[in-house]
Chains A and B, each alone.
Chain A
């Protein structure tokens, strides 16, 4: 039974990683083919760093992801604190609104935002699909993840501690900063990380809101997939995947090192 389940899990992992392996291997291929191996080469990594279109869209993707993460984390954390203080019907309304972008199919969110910007543009002549529209859309779909990560942490905090801090003469703001913030910090960090991941990986909503002028990496890749994908893109994703892998391993190692210290305290 034990070995059977190990084999099963291994098979699923093979299924999950087979295409990724194909991508990585063929980023080192010495030809344009995606199925025939012509020998090892680093030429796609060389051309990658000369491809300004691709590097521009990578830069745009990162800019949007970082900005959207910061703004959505601020709005989302404040929202969680506010909603936590609500009760009954109002709280339910806010949570339902928060769930709309998560429940709605991405394509519906995408076209709804596109129509909003089309509508505003027709009425006022501003906010054509482009960088601003893209950023506003990303913030919108990132906020709910932050709210959902911070809310449970708020529920776990003891509100008497906050009151005690104020009784002892703390200003509500500093009581919040000194007592509540450290408690909900893990939720804020997870929420920010999820927001960043979602923004980085988003394709559907970006496709509908970015327009011609502000193409994210995913949108550029989509345009390429329709014509012909160059292995440069394999090289780029191999580098990105490698970076994430190294970061994750580092975080894990640090966590393991940090653990014995924590228990010793």
Chain B
């Protein structure tokens, strides 16, 4: 078929703007300022092992929280009428239309020492005058920011898998004497695994590599790998070579995670996350 040639512009475009840039990242990672081969950029990773560890830990916690929070929600959406489903999906997607930075910024007003939560706690007398709960600039605030921003990415793939579960399968399990928990763990859960896996990747990847959320909600106290990469490309003391090496490691790390999830999932090549 001649139609194949229609993909030629795409092929050229993606080679130029996806493959070549990644090759340049690799080149920068293994060279120094003079363009000579070096491994010293990679050894900088040792210095930032703490940031790598913290990124993975916070990213993993946020992903698990998203899964736990999204699962019941996605399930209940998938069981209502089609019109109600459309409305609820819209309610979940609508916040994404408000600028991501501003939404996160708004959490500062809620969490900071004079923010709404602390104001409220002082009002009802839980906290004395001048006292405040340390909410902002903590690891917890960063995790909250991650959960808040990426929750829809977990709800949508879960929902799109669950909506395809045949009601009759659940009814059959109930007819055969399964109680609610058995239906959940032995029927619904196994059938929703592809959604869980694509949800996990869609939350974990942006969470582990974020730098905006830490800048806004973590103050300067929480440094993730994304912050370190950003500062090696923007501002004073930028070092593209170290930044490229760190990006390379981050990318490989995520590829390993992805390979792990795709081992469990034997799905199609065009993942079915969005309906």
- Enumerate chain A interface residues (CB-CB to B < 8 A): 5, 8-9, 12-13, 15-20, 22-23, 26, 34-35, 75-76, 78-79, 81-86, 90, 92, 94-98, 100-101, 103-109, 111-116, 118-119, 136-137, 139-140, 143, 147-149, 151-152, 172, 194, 197, 201, 203-204, 207-208, 217-218, 221-222, 225-226, 229, 233-234, 237, 240-241, 244-245, 248, 252
Contacts and interface: CB of A to CB of B under 8 A. Distances in A.
B69 interface: yes
Given A108-B251, A140-B17, A234-B102, A82 B7 contact: yes
A203 B106 contact: no
29 contacts: A9-B73, A9-B88, A12-B69, A16-B148, A19-B104, A19-B110, A75-B13, A85-B4, A86-B7, A92-B269, A97-B11, A97-B15, A104-B251, A105-B205, A108-B25, A112-B247, A114-B233, A116-B21, A119-B24, A140-B17, A143-B10, A148-B270, A152-B270, A201-B99, A221-B105, A222-B101, A225-B105, A244-B94, A244-B97
A116 B258 contact: no
A187 B90 CA distance: 18
B9 interface: yes
Given A15-B148, A106-B209, A108-B247, A113 B21 contact: yes
A228 to B, nearest CB: 11
B102 A245 contact: no
Contacts of B226: 105, 107
Contact of A85 (B1, B116, B247): B1
A35 B116 contact: yes
A100 B4 contact: no
B114 A203 contact: no
Majority SS of interface residues in chain B? helix
B28 interface: yes
Contacts of A90: 4
B103 to A, nearest CB: 5
Contacts, number: 225
Interface in B72-110: 72-73, 76-77, 86, 88, 90-92, 94-110
B148 A116 contact: no
Contact of A201 (B21, B96, B243): B96
Given A94-B7, A111-B229, A245-B94, A218 B209 contact: no
B60 interface: no
A129 to B, nearest CB: 11
B220 to A, nearest CB: 12
Nearest to B14: A97
Given A22-B116, A97-B19, A204-B212, 12 more contacts: A9-B73, A15-B148, A16-B95, A82-B5, A85-B1, A100-B14, A113-B21, A115-B244, A221-B105, A237-B98, A240-B99, A252-B86
A80 to B, nearest CB: 8
Interface in B144-183: 148, 151-152
Contacts of A9: 73, 76-77, 88
A35 B98 contact: no
A19 B270 contact: no
Interface in B1-43: 1-11, 13-15, 17-22, 24-25, 28
Nearest to B269: A95
A237 B244 contact: no
Contacts of A245: 94
A34 B109 CA distance: 6
B115 interface: yes
A112 B25 contact: yes
Given A203-B100, A233-B102, A241-B98, A22 B7 contact: no
Nearest to B106: A19
A125 to B, nearest CB: 17
A139 to B, nearest CB: 8
